[in-house]
Chain A
Amino acid sequence: MQFDSLAFAVFLPVLWVAYRLTNRNRWVLLAGSLLFYGWWDWRYLSLIVGSSTAAYFFGTAIGNPATPSRRTPLLLLSVSLQMGLLIYFKYWNLLTETFLHLRQALGGGNDIQFARVLLPVGISFFTFQNLSYTVDVWRGSVRRSDSLIDYLLYISFFPQLVAGPIERYSDLHPQLVQRPLATWKDYDQGFALLIVGFFKKIVIADTASDFADRVFNNPSSFSGPSAIFGVYFFALQIYADFSAYTDIARGCGLLFGIRLIDNFQQPYLSTSITEFWRRWHISLSGWLRDYLYFPLGGNRGGLARTIRNLCITMVLGGIWHGASWNFLIWGFANGFMLSAEKLYHYFTGHRVERAAIGLGGWVRRFVTLNLICLTWVFFRAADLPKALVILGQCVRIPLEKGELLSLGKTLEPAAILCLLGGLMMGHDLLKERRGDGWFLSLPTGARILAAGLMIAFIALNVGNNQNAFIYFQF
């Protein structure tokens, strides 16, 4: 079920009322969450329930103090199972296509056919949660779960199920066991997050996607400023889209008294790539750090090892998004830039983000943002040749007759980019200064007007160029 759908507009209040009428019954929340997931394709309910049940029983066995010798083999078995499912659903099509290409290249026939596998929504997210749970139990940092129902609820809790945040067992599970009563403050903040989230998705991200899609779907038709606009529009779209999902998820959680982590902390205000990754998709960055980078050795073992570990982590993080050269290059480019900053720190003793104030800070922010935008080209383009065409078009001077320079009227996208980008920047600056409750810290009159206008713009834009949330595909 999409957050920005009519079905969800009915689902949320009905589930809330049912939850409250049944005195916050966990079965109601679980049933609602499974309905939310099954709405997309009920057949995949068996996948999420099956893999989570397996993770639960592995966790129970791993955490059994009577059989310490079995812990590591059981962990390896559990990780293999979860990774096997992820690889099968996510990479099967690519693997079979590669196999067939190779077979043909080596003179084999094309008589073999493999069935195509449809990627279940949210598999990357709930698999990571299952993995982190079993690893945490193995490490002894969390106690094994006592109840399968509570564990299933932890995995399937609807706001975070499809596109994160990737909640840790230690943060979310206790809340779902306790199921606290939402306070007025929770409702206050929850509604604010819902309004801001829907505005970001429906007004900012969906409008930006209209322009970004035109360039990325037909890159050779745009050059110079138009191609650059397209890249900036995508940078705006992905941030507004994904952070909107988190806001809506957190808002929904608060209506049920549950607090989810903030996945984005003004990433485009970062003064370095290192800082960007501390602020962008925080739950994934944290997951990769704790379950991949640190086990690889982290920054212990010298500069060369640190750089190797960074590159491996970022490349695997890239491939987590999808099996393509583009994601691999995107991950590697980020790993490379993070490594460059490590080298800078190593040789100069200064951190890149040291001058975050004044003009120097803004110059660093500008450079960081543009480097990130450059990597987004690989993230968004359909394939590698298209990504290279867009990069080429960005530096092409569009003066020839017949050149298709414009994205609509030339100044219109510029004005829309400035307007939407300005709104996001204003949001980020306020949040940076006033914290998570920035909206509620506004004077009452301004808050009423802002919220009223946001609701009006949501009503105005809903149904226009409506796209699924970008991270649904991962």
Chain B
Amino acid sequence: MPSSTSSSDGVRRLAWLGGAVLVFLLLNALARFGEQQRWLRTGDPAKLVAQRIQSVRNGADVWVCGNSLVEHSFDAELARTLDSQRYATVILGSATLEATAMVIGRALDESQTKPRNVVVVISKDDFNRNGTRGESSAQYLQAFQPPSLRTRISSWIPIHELRSSIQLRIRKTLTSLIKGDPRSEAKALPPEAFAALQSGKDDPVWIAKQITESYLANQGRDFIFNDSGVSNLVATCRKHAVPLTIVLPPVSKAVAEWHDTRFPNQRWETLRKQVLTGFQQPGVRVLDWESALPSNPKVFVDPYHVHLTLRSHLTQWYVRELTPAPSRPAAREDKR
């Protein structure tokens, strides 16, 4: 230590640094607490996958798996009231097809009873090997590999380990400060939403606006069709002798139109046919609802996601298709 000045001077001078480290440690403790309380998504890949498959590990008849599209189109609680089967969801935010297949494989390995049906809800961007989802999915895939040195070090610093979740929270807060919370907007919409559903009209102005203003995944990236994801998913379910149902959920026309503008030589309709052909295999059923809803702002919160309030409506579609034929319920009116 410097001899020219006393150590008490040093302590006084560098006290702020100690204080800063203390603030940092407190923030880390807060982040860990947030993770335990499930306010923040865990950053430990193994823990994350374990959390995600917890709901199906103890046994459910139908597993509905996929990314945020599941959250916006299916309500497991409501499904249980409409059908005698036990429904459970596995929501893997931003997961690619490969990651989804691996997680489903682990869940099937670990579950005490095999499901009657595995339903996977996927959309256009899950088929892109080159998209941003590939990066987002890395966390799921890491759960299947031994932890790297970086992962082990980051587990000592909760803020770093939970960074994706914290950053997402910050971004969402920022966005809601500027634009308002889209979910609160969704809650206020049911009557108009249902009216719009019945009218069945597209809103071309809204579609154009979404194409120009909304963030659509894979911006600036080429679309490289992920055919191995398709075969991996089919192989996983076949290995466990579980039937697979693929759902292409309703998305707005802005998705396809944006894609066709960006990739004129690789039109979405062509790729879609490739997807449908890829899944034309024994034991696999495809429910193609992609264009089932009108593309307008009363129905869609953004180009991919329907308003949360329409979940009840779409849940009935799932139940109608997934209930075994003899016990299939008669068409029921919407309860919500």
Interface set of A (CB-CB < 8 Å, partner B):
6, 181-188, 191, 195, 214, 217-218, 221, 398-399, 401-406, 408-412, 415-416, 419, 444, 447-456, 459-464
Is B17 positioned at the interface, with any CB of A under 8 Å from its CB? yes
B125-155 vs A, Cβ < 8 Å mask (1 yes, 0 no): 0000000000000000000000001100110
Given A184-B13, A456-B27, verify A408-B215 contact (CB < 8 Å). yes
Residues of A contacting B174 in the complex (Cβ-Cβ under 8 angstroms): 412, 415-416, 419
Interface of A is mostly: helix
B254-292 vs A, Cβ < 8 Å mask (1 yes, 0 no): 000110011000000000000000000000000000000
CA distance A405 to B21 in the complex (A): 43
CA distance A463 to B16 in the complex (A): 27
Query: How many Å from the CB of A59 to the closest CB on chain B?
Result: 33
Q: Are the C-beta atoms of A456 and B2 separated by less than 8 Å?
A: no
Q: Are the C-beta atoms of B150 and A6 separated by less than 8 Å?
A: yes
Q: Are the C-beta atoms of B220 and A183 separated by less than 8 Å?
A: no
Q: Are the C-beta atoms of A188 and B14 separated by less than 8 Å?
A: yes
CA distance A323 to B24 in the complex (A): 45
Q: Are the C-beta atoms of B5 and A415 separated by less than 8 Å?
A: no
Residues of B contacting A186 in the complex (Cβ-Cβ under 8 angstroms): 2
B101-115 vs A, Cβ < 8 Å mask (1 yes, 0 no): 000000000000000
Query: How many Å from the CB of B147 to the closest CB on chain A?
Result: 15
CA distance A181 to B2 in the complex (A): 6
A-B contact pairs, 10 of them (CB 8 A): A6-B149, A218-B220, A402-B211, A404-B219, A409-B214, A444-B16, A448-B19, A453-B27, A459-B24, A464-B163
Query: How many Å from the CB of B9 to the closest CB on chain A?
Result: 5
Is B331 positioned at the interface, with any CB of A under 8 Å from its CB? no
Interface of B is mostly: helix
CA distance A463 to B166 in the complex (A): 14
Query: How many Å from the CB of A474 to the closest CB on chain B?
Result: 26
Given A181-B3, A453-B23, verify A401-B212 contact (CB < 8 Å). yes
Is B188 positioned at the interface, with any CB of A under 8 Å from its CB? no
Known pairs A181-B4, A187-B14, A409-B175. 7 more at Cβ < 8 A? A181-B3, A183-B4, A399-B212, A402-B212, A402-B257, A406-B213, A452-B21
CA distance A263 to B144 in the complex (A): 47
CA distance A461 to B167 in the complex (A): 9
Is B10 positioned at the interface, with any CB of A under 8 Å from its CB? yes
Residues of B contacting A181 in the complex (Cβ-Cβ under 8 angstroms): 2-4
CA distance A181 to B10 in the complex (A): 14
Residues of B contacting A463 in the complex (Cβ-Cβ under 8 angstroms): 150, 154, 160, 163
CA distance A331 to B320 in the complex (A): 69
Given A410-B213, A411-B179, A456-B27, verify A404-B10 contact (CB < 8 Å). no
Residues of A contacting B233 in the complex (Cβ-Cβ under 8 angstroms): none
Q: Are the C-beta atoms of B213 and A460 separated by less than 8 Å?
A: no
Residues 17-41 (chain B) with a chain A CB within 8 angstroms: 17, 19-24, 26-28
CA distance A426 to B213 in the complex (A): 31
Is B208 positioned at the interface, with any CB of A under 8 Å from its CB? yes
Q: Are the C-beta atoms of A191 and B14 separated by less than 8 Å?
A: yes
CA distance A463 to B20 in the complex (A): 22
Is B178 positioned at the interface, with any CB of A under 8 Å from its CB? yes
Given A188-B13, A449-B23, verify A411-B160 contact (CB < 8 Å). no
CA distance A186 to B219 in the complex (A): 47
CA distance A300 to B28 in the complex (A): 61
Query: How many Å from the CB of B156 to the closest CB on chain A?
Result: 10
Given A415-B174, A444-B16, verify A405-B23 contact (CB < 8 Å). no
Q: Are the C-beta atoms of A214 and B261 separated by less than 8 Å?
A: no
Q: Are the C-beta atoms of A401 and B19 separated by less than 8 Å?
A: no
CA distance A455 to B27 in the complex (A): 10
CA distance A195 to B14 in the complex (A): 13
Is B183 positioned at the interface, with any CB of A under 8 Å from its CB? no
Q: Are the C-beta atoms of B2 and A182 separated by less than 8 Å?
A: yes
CA distance A403 to B261 in the complex (A): 8
CA distance A216 to B222 in the complex (A): 16
Residues of B contacting A454 in the complex (Cβ-Cβ under 8 angstroms): 20
Q: Are the C-beta atoms of B23 and A448 separated by less than 8 Å?
A: yes
Closest to B166 in A: A460
Residue from A218, A404, A460 in contact with B159 in the complex, judged by beta carbons closer than 8 Å: A460
Query: How many Å from the CB of B174 to the closest CB on chain A?
Result: 5
Q: Are the C-beta atoms of A183 and B5 separated by less than 8 Å?
A: yes
Is B171 positioned at the interface, with any CB of A under 8 Å from its CB? yes
Residues of A contacting B215 in the complex (Cβ-Cβ under 8 angstroms): 406, 408-409, 412
Residue from B16, B149, B163, B262 in contact with A404 in the complex, judged by beta carbons closer than 8 Å: B262
Looking at B15, B150, B159, which has the most chain A CB atoms within 10 Å of its CB? B159
Residues of B contacting A410 in the complex (Cβ-Cβ under 8 angstroms): 213
Query: How many Å from the CB of A183 to the closest CB on chain B?
Result: 5
Closest to A419 in B: B174
Query: How many Å from the CB of B11 to the closest CB on chain A?
Result: 9
